[in-house]
Structure 1
């Protein structure tokens, strides 16, 4: 297959996982190339996500590297082929690549867990709330930039409404519920929307109130995107410059899973959270 230009995060992740398998087997790039019957450059391109692969090639590489984890091999084989021309591709020339890659990750996710201290989760935002957030960005965005970001965000939310949607769990600190972006009416509509979204069978919304005994986080917002197997999970961190940072090292994934588990342990349950949001809606 021809080289891939501008590899997506998903393609780079496939290459990185194949590199991990090679390194665990003790093979150098030279040895792997000889074993697979290709040149060293092809192995390097595969491991950087710049060479499209077939499922059969992935299985051959896994066999050469003595990988016996059939679930992982099947998951990696499922990531092969040319770039999926999903709706997100139309934004590749208009938005930072990381935002486009995030939409692709969410599309393929088997589960989504998010934790936020100062903002409503993007997947649960109303159009007016999201527009107010984008208008507050520093430096200010041009109107067409706001519209690109807005339509991209709303289309991302389609993941929660499709047939067989992934489970989505949101842990939101009380401070985020009280921010009031866009004014009282927008804020009330946003809280009502949270209540409605929480009624979906695949969506769970839980609140950590100010009165919680502890808050096991630095306050940084993050998304935990579950892959077909735990090794293929990804953490997405919001950054101050408005982009996305992605983490996928085993130790990092374990840390953020633990943080989410601790946050759930100090959050109100779903019924209590619903009552809590309902009271806030009436107070605004």
Structure 2
């Protein structure tokens, strides 16, 4: 196994450090990108993008690289740090991301899109591209958003309650297969013990969160913060006097929503109503 690297002189940003280590490991092994692709079965351009920091790759790719280089004990750990690196997020979101990693529980209301924590890679890419991202920045932000899902995985993930306005489930992706995948992912997520999913159907009337996405985080010290987004701004709210009214509004919206069992059936029916995929 290669010796551990000395931190001094290397980047202290996990994403950049991960790319540096990949370049060093390949140089030590004497592999070209083409040879690496041929040996591991992925396109050589993927490894080039990982070494330049344009993408951090999937856990399957990183595990294959770790085995190839004999670096199983630390390369996957470094990748996990890169996935959760707040520096890869836009500046106004970094404080929230740091708090999200510490959250004991989370709850959210979503107006028109699935929460980032429950988006598939295809959904994240189309949503971020619709916001104007492209090229390398788009790749990085897709990796960052999908990487956040690790928060809800593992041995003791925090509880996550989410209310989806029905509009979330009606505003489909352009590719029907990718949309079906996203709906399946929501159903599967709703079956996990730490995730409680509600659907707020059309026709329940106006309420205090009609145009506002909001995520609440319960922190280790017992305090709660909220991150709210509407049509014109995004804001991290930490003052208790402002968080509490939002929580009461959220609770009122939850009272209008379908139960978790009814919500799962609702999404399943949408899947059943979709046209069958053409046979190949």
Q: Considering the TM-score relative to the shorter chain, is it more than 0.5?
A: yes
Residue 170, structure 1, aligned to residue 162, structure 2: yes
Partners in 1 of 2:263 and 2:84 — Cα distance?
Answer: 36
Aligned match of 1:280 in 267, 270, 273? 270
- C-alpha offsets along residues 169-220 of structure 1, whole Å, 9 cap, x if unaligned? 0000001111002332221111110000011100011000013255342321
> Cα distance 1:89–1:211, how it changes in 2: closer, same or farther (>3 A)?
closer
Mean Cα displacement is larger for which, 96-105 or 263-272? Answer: 96-105
Count of residue correspondences: 195
Aligned match of 2:103 in 101, 105, 109? 109
Partners in 1 of 2:122 and 2:211 — Cα distance?
Answer: 24
Counterpart of 1:264 in structure 2 is 254
Partners in 1 of 2:134 and 2:98 — Cα distance?
Answer: 25
Mean Cα displacement is larger for which, 221-230 or 195-204? Answer: 221-230
Report if aligned partners of 2:96, 2:236 keep a CA contact under 8 Å in 1: no
Report if aligned partners of 1:129, 1:182 keep a CA contact under 8 Å in 2: no
Aligned match of 2:229 in 225, 235, 238? 238
The runs of 5 or more residues in structure 1 that have no matched partner are 1-84
Partners in 2 of 1:201 and 1:90 — Cα distance?
Answer: 27
Partners in 1 of 2:153 and 2:130 — Cα distance?
Answer: 28
Counterpart of 2:189 in structure 1 is 197
Give the alignment of 1:90-239 within 5 angstroms. Answer: 90=85, 92=87, 94-137=88-131, 140-230=132-222, 232-238=223-229
Give, in angstroms, the shift of residue 145 of structure 1: 0.8
- C-alpha offsets along residues 23-63 of structure 1, whole Å, 9 cap, x if unaligned? xxxxxxxxxxxxxxxxxxxxxxxxxxxxxxxxxxxxxxxxx
The runs of 5 or more residues in structure 2 that have no matched partner are 1-79, 275-280
CA RMSD of aligned residues (A): 2.1
> Cα distance 1:107–1:220, how it changes in 2: closer, same or farther (>3 A)?
same
For residue 235 of structure 1, give the secondary structure of its aligned residue in structure 2: strand
Report if aligned partners of 1:120, 1:172 keep a CA contact under 8 Å in 2: yes
Report if aligned partners of 1:115, 1:260 keep a CA contact under 8 Å in 2: yes
Give, in angstroms, the shift of residue 270 of structure 1: 0.5
Partners in 2 of 1:87 and 1:203 — Cα distance?
Answer: 25
Report if aligned partners of 2:211, 2:230 keep a CA contact under 8 Å in 1: no
> Cα distance 1:248–1:177, how it changes in 2: closer, same or farther (>3 A)?
same
Partners in 1 of 2:199 and 2:192 — Cα distance?
Answer: 17
> Cα distance 1:164–1:271, how it changes in 2: closer, same or farther (>3 A)?
same
For residue 220 of structure 2, give the secondary structure of its aligned residue in structure 1: coil
Counterpart of 1:28 in structure 2 is none
TM-score calculated relative to the size of structure 2:
0.65
TM-score calculated relative to the size of structure 1:
0.64
